[in-house]
Each structure stands twice: as C-alpha cells, then as structure tokens.
Amino acid sequence: MRVVAVTGTNTSVGKTVAVAALTACALAAGRTVAVVKPVQTGVPPGGPGDLDDVARLTGATDLHEYARFGEPLAPGTAARRLGVPGPRISWLAEQIAAIPAHDLMLIEGAGGPLVEFNAAGETLVDLLRALGRTVPVEVLLVASAGLGVLNLAALTARALSCADLPLAGVVVGDWPADPDLAARCNLADLPRYAGADLAGVVPAGSGRLDRAQFAAVARQSLAPCFDGNFDASAFARSAAGQESAAR
C-alpha cells in the first residue's frame, strides 16, 4: 500500500482539491483508494467537510474522519477553546492502521505539518512518524502560487526533512488563470526551495467543476508518478510564453 500524506505551506492553499485530484487519478487508473482527514476544523457537527468535497468531486467512498471542531482554527487551539485535550496521535495512528489495505491511502493534514493537534503539542509530523514505523509514508507538499510562498516552502520542507519524512513532490494548488510574474517564476523556484520535483499544478476553481470535468483536469494537473500526465517542463514553457506575450 502506498501512503501519501498531503500537507501545505499554510492554510487555504488547495490541499483538499489536490487530495481529490490524487484520488480521481488513482481511481481512473483502477486503483483502490482510502482518504483520511484525521482532524477537521471550521465545520460544525453534521456539516459537509473536506471529505464531502472529495466524495463530490471523485465518487470516492472509503473516507475517514476522526475528530471535528467547529471553529476555523488550528486543531489544538479549537480543542482548547472547548476545554478538551484534542485527539492523541497514538489513537489516531491506531484508527488509521485499522483501515483495510488499499492501493493508495491519502492523509490530509490540517494547515501545515507543525500545526498542533492536541494539548500535548503533537502534530502531523508526529502522526506520520508513528505511521511510518509500520508502513513507508511519503509527503506531498501543496503550495500557493504567488509571492511569499518560497520561504514557506523551504521552511516546511526543512521541517519534514528533520523528521526523516521524504517529500514526494510539490504541487501548486491554486494556479491562477492569469498568473503574475511571481507565480510564473515560482514554477522554477519552488522545486529548488522545497528540494522536490514539481509534481503538478491544479488550476484555481477546479473544486467547482462537476465530476467528469474534474477527472479530466486532475489528469492534466498531476505528474505520471501520481497517475496523471502533467509535464512540468511543458507547463513552464507555456507559462513563459504567457509572460512573453504580456510584454
């Protein structure tokens, strides 16, 4: 079973849509997929969360969420405001380990990899290290497109490296229809700052597509290592062409 954790340089960078794209491509390739959101925040009990978006966009059915806090905060902060400790990493790891084996398991974090899950200060990094004792875990970093992301990408990659968590690639999660100079330059710079290949570029607004449209966009947005047909070099040339045309 391949286990890929999806984290971000920060919040609202397109992690959930990237997870949906990974799911859509794997399903189209005939693979079985389980998707895990260990902790959901910013959604009230019974409300549609990130896993509902994945289901709507892909038709995936093996979806797992273990804790939810209604306020749009870091999980540990949201738990503290409710007077509860938050889920322990050891318990979350047990729940995830009990999921039947699939070709691919995707684990979506909350915010970045060092965001605290509980009062003990445990993070996604701690969860992935716990899981990694029994199965290899890769990390896919989702980054925003524009100015300011390079330092965040470098810091995030360093945190993962210090925890001996291999970075499988970096994906731009919100590529604009009219990219500015910073976004176009970041296509070349992000892999260098993150120390990993550019594994995809997901257009902004993809989460509003219907399932068939999304499946097509997903294949175009992810590299072959994730069952897509994205070509980083060709995409960079196309972006450079946009820059030349704008001059």
Catalytic positions: 37
The token pair that represents 224 in the structure block: 């072959």
Residue type, 221: S
Partners of residue 105 on adjacent β-strands: 3, 34
Residue 17 has phi, psi (to 5 degrees) of -65, -35
169: Cβ contacts below 8 Å, ≥ 6 apart: 140, 141, 196, 197, 198, 199, 200, 223, 225, 226
The SS3 of residue 201 is strand
Task: Quote the DSSP letter at residue 243.
Answer: H
Q: DSSP readout, 184-198?
A: HHHHHHHHHHHTS-E
Alpha helix segments (H runs only) across the chain: 15-28, 50-58, 75-81, 89-97, 124-131, 149-162, 181-194, 211-221, 232-246
d(Cα 159, Cα 230) in Å, to the nearest integer?
27
Residue 82 has phi, psi (to 5 degrees) of -90, -5
Torsion of the alpha carbons at 19, 23, 25 and 27, rounded to the nearest 10: 180
